[in-house]
Amino acid sequence: TQLLEQSPQFLSIQEGENLTVYCNSSSVFSSLQWYRQEPGEGPVLLVTVVTGGEVKKLKRLTFQFGDARKDSSLHITAAQPGDTGLYLCAGAHQAGTALIFGKGTTLSVSS
């Protein structure tokens, strides 16, 4: 079974704090994606990483793909209440195969 383990499962922080969410697997991925989902809606793609060691930035969000392409992290700087949501990582072991999702990290940012 191809598994993506996300940690932590829940995170509750104050506005302005920094946080990191992790996504790990024992298998190599051809690409890995991060999505954010709000209640009652489908996930929305934030970023795709393809190359081992790749770092991508999206405003206050920094995404990193592990050198071995088995893990990834999402770092949020100075979190805001608008960052609240379910953060999901998803990976494909081969190009063109179905994306497998992790169980997600539920982030709550209070003002």
Cβ neighbors of 73 (< 8 A, separation 6 or more) are: 20, 21, 22, 23, 63, 64
CA-nearest of 103, 108, 101 to 33 is 101
Shortest CB 11 distance to another protein, Å: 13
User: In the set 40, 59, 82, 111, which binds another protein (CB under 8 A)?
Assistant: 40
Shortest CB 9 distance to another protein, Å: 8
Cβ distance 110 to 14 under 8 Å? yes
Shortest CB 59 distance to another protein, Å: 19
Q: How far apart are CA 31 and CA 85, in angstroms?
A: 23
* 22 near another protein, rule: CB under 8 A: no
The binding site for another protein (CB under 8 A) comprises: 4, 6, 30-31, 33, 40-45, 48, 50, 86, 88, 90, 92, 95-104, 106
